[in-house]
Amino acid sequence: MGYRILLAILLLLSTLTVHAFDLGGLVKEITKEQSPASETEQQQAKQPGLLDLLGGTPVEEEIAIGREICGRLLGAAPLVDDKRLQRYINQVGAWVAKQSGRSDLIWHFGVIESHDINAFAAPGGYILVTKGLYKKLHNEAELAGVLAHEVGHVIKQHHLKILKQGQLIDMGGGILKKRASGDDKGQAIGKMIGSGAEILARGLDKNAEYEADRIGVVLAARAGYDAYALPSVLQEIGHVSAGDSSVALLFKTHPHPEKRLIELDAAMDGYAEQFDNGKTIVGRFYKL
């Protein structure tokens, strides 16, 4: 009886090894075909991504995934039809994102047609703010702070990490055994993201939100803006009644704004000097 169990375990182990070996071979074979990855790309490729196996660099993978998620969100809520507004948010956003050091991405910002109060970040630099949140803002520094929080999610790859975790679980499921054509690549991304833009409704760990807040105030300050504009926005949305449907999703996916304000204020407390003298900029702020 004991021998049988041992035999079973040995058999199981050998299958696993063969499987792992196969996977490794596949990775090697594909990376040979590619031009050598840059240092940043190598740093980001901590885990083999689905597209690494199917062809494509980690940055390309990140952008392809984010573009798909962003496109789905736009399917639920299209862009506000106002070119000057969309150009303005891209000017502010690009300046803030420049401070993050991820110049390998082309950053995209947009205001979407929704009266909810919320903002979303998808991998690869796709960031959308609802009209409902935009209307709560009073100046450019507040917009910069909101966008900087979302830029924080992108550079920390918060959503990408969640998607990759899910994908690793899927690895044994056999989807990787097929060699890819173009269509499979799309399917692979689709499978990774799941249904619609549900990844954005799931929410992140609360510490990821606090981290994005701390990154947000620093990026805004690096860009020359008043760093306390983001805390100010949190204060503003902090007293919206929790029963209000416009904050239902925001409050479900984030710690309460007041809790975020308390955490952020405590973190900023010792750095008052570094956050001094930022600009607010009311004059050219594009009002809705």
Partner 1 sequence: MKTVQWLIGVILVVFVAPLFAEPGYIIRSSDLMDEPYRDATPLAELKEGATVEILKRKGGWLQIESAGKRGWVRMSKIRKGKAATQPTAGKEASGVLGLASGRAGTGNVVSATGVRGLNEEQLKEAKFNASEVKKLESFAVSEQKATRFAQAAKLVARELEFIPAAAE
Positions 95 through 154 that interact with partner 1 (CB under 8 A): 95, 98-99, 103, 106-110, 113-116, 118, 126, 130, 140
90 forms part of the interface with partner 1 (CB under 8 A): yes
- The only residue of 26, 45, 74, 162 in contact with partner 1, by rule CB under 8 A: 74
10 forms part of the interface with partner 1 (CB under 8 A): no
Query: Closer to partner 1 at the Cβ: 35 or 245?
Result: 245
Closest CA to 275 of 162, 123, 148: 148
What 3-state DSSP class applies to 277? coil
Query: Closer to partner 1 at the Cβ: 160 or 249?
Result: 249
Which residue in this structure is represented by tokens 């070119």? 83
242 forms part of the interface with partner 1 (CB under 8 A): yes
CA distances from 46 to 42, 94, 112, 157, 172 (A): 7, 27, 33, 12, 19
Neighbour-count burial of 39, counting CB atoms closer than 10 A to its CB (0-12 exposed, 13-18 middle, 19+ buried): exposed
Distance CA 243, CA 196 (A): 26
Distance CA 205, CA 184 (A): 31
Of 33-72, binders to partner 1 (CB under 8 A) are: 67-68, 70-72
Distance CA 264, CA 162 (A): 24
- Residue 122 bridge partners (DSSP): 126
Of 245-274, binders to partner 1 (CB under 8 A) are: 245-249, 251-252, 255-256, 258-259, 261-269, 271-272, 274
In whole angstroms, how close is the CB of 174 to partner 1 at the nearest point? 25
In whole angstroms, how close is the CB of 165 to partner 1 at the nearest point? 19
In whole angstroms, how close is the CB of 58 to partner 1 at the nearest point? 21
Count of residues touching partner 1 (by CB under 8 A):
92
Query: Closer to partner 1 at the Cβ: 14 or 207?
Result: 207
